[in-house]
Amino acid sequence: MDMLSFCHWLQSTGWAVWIKESFNVFPALYVVHIFGFILLVASTSILDMRMLGWWVRGRSVSNVVDLTLPWAKVGFASNFITGVVLFATHAVDMYTNTAFRVKMLLVLGAGLNILLFQITTYRSVEEWGQSEATPPSAKVTAAISLFLWLGIAAMSRVIGFTGAQQ
Amino acid sequence: MPSNLAICSWLENTRIGLGISQSIWIFPAIEMVHMFGIVVLVGATSILDLRLMGLMLRDEPVSRLAHATLRWAWISFTVMVVTGSLMFVAEATKCYNSAPFRLKMLMMVLAGVNALIFHSFAYRGVKWWELGSTPFAAKFAGALSLIFWFGIVGAGRWIAFY
């Protein structure tokens, strides 16, 4: 079964139809999705600012990570769950929507960016995390992260405007 | 004195109102800036609210955190008012008639009153309690503020569904 057929099947399941047509559940899911977005992007942006040496002063990088990571995880988990459910209700439209596909690629990119950072520069955070000045690689990671998360938010808005590919 | 609906209609037909609503990209662009503003504004207020409730950053003096977060809050709030007003002008009648929109405006007033009361009373003596556990008034104001701001965001999203 190819992806498109799967999407057709998914959005025709009983619960997907019920959610899509319900008066309150569908909007409520979107609202929770926005809350998660606020939690996630606020957390990552604060960490990114610290790594760029902007605004957040007086706290080591590890300290900022400790403070923001739990919130980022909650926001991401919440958005992953609501996102899957929201996707299911309009699976075919989402799957064929260019902005949605770009958004998913950007999310993957953001994850890879974090992973790469963790296995390289972040390994030595004890050496450089205390000072205001951060290594260039940390700055690059943070800039990419800011760009990606804002891009993800922007793509989300565009999803409603670009129609299906076919 | 023209009715409110007449004023809305007039607003929508101004050059600005028509310019925004008739363009393919201007309204979405304004809305996107509004969305980014939400992250900064609600992020800033939530951090302070959680501190007031004693749930986060307990070692941070409240006045110092308030100074830092409120600066961002006021700047982003200005952006929100500007973008929000532009969107209202473009769709004044629809917004005026929208129950979620009215609820959103009401909650913004309530959030403002909550902040005003807090700053006029409990916050006056912040130097006395900013390093220990926060007084109940601060916790209450923080909790109300969180409820209002997330309610405002939720109502905002709901406008499109009604």
What pLDDT digit, counting tens, does each position of A107-141 carry?
Answer: 999 999 999 998 998 888 888 888 888 899 999 99
Better-scored residue on pLDDT, A130 or A161:
A130
| Contact (CB<8Å) B39/A161 | no
- Find where tokens 């605004």 sit: A55
> Where does the pLDDT of residue A162 fall: very low under 50, low under 70, confident under 90, or very high at 90 and above?
low
Give the one of A38, A153, A158 whose C-beta lies nearest to B42's C-beta: A38
- Tell me, what DSSP letter sits at residue A164? B
The C-alpha of A2 sits at a distance from chain B's nearest C-alpha, in angstroms, of 33
Give the one of A31, A41, A42 whose C-beta lies nearest to B158's C-beta: A31
Closest Cα to residue B40, out of A46, A79, A56, A66?
A: A46
Query: Taking residues A149-164, what's their average pLDDT?
Result: 81
pLDDT digits (tens, 9 = 90+) for A28-71: 999 999 999 999 999 999 999 999 988 777 889 999 999 999 99
Share of chain B above pLDDT 90, in %: 90
pLDDT at A164 over 60: no
Q: Cβ of A70 under 8 Å from any chain B Cβ?
A: no
Show residues of chain A in contact with B42, CB under 8 Å.
38, 42
pLDDT digits (tens, 9 = 90+) for B78-115: 999 999 999 999 999 999 999 999 999 999 999 999 99
| Nearest residue of chain A to residue B35 (CA atoms) | A153
Selected residue of B103, B157, B159, B162 to mutate for chain A interface (largest A Cβ count, 10 A): B157
pLDDT at A77 over 90: yes
- Find where tokens 């129950």 sit: B99
| Nearest residue of chain A to residue B150 (CA atoms) | A35
Number of domains in chain B: 1
Show residues of chain B in contact with A27, CB under 8 Å.
157-158, 161
Show residues of chain A in contact with B157, CB under 8 Å.
27, 30-31, 34
pLDDT at A165: 47
The alpha-carbon radius of gyration of chain A (Å, integer) is 18
Within chain B, which residues score under 70 in pLDDT? none
Taken in order A75, A78, A83, A86, is the CA torsion positive or negative? negative
Count how many residues are written for chain B: 162
From CA B38, how far away is CA A99, in angstroms rounded?
21
Count how many residues are written for chain A: 166
pLDDT at B161: 85
Q: Answer whether B80's CB lies under 8 Å from B34's CB.
A: yes
List A residues 99-118 in contact with B (Cβ-Cβ < 8 A): none
From CA A49, how far away is CA A46, in angstroms rounded?
5
Show residues of chain A in contact with B41, CB under 8 Å.
none
- Amino acid B89 reads V
Closest Cα to residue B115, out of B84, B79, B90, B140?
A: B140
From CA A112, how far away is CA A69, in angstroms rounded?
16
Show residues of chain B in contact with A22, CB under 8 Å.
none
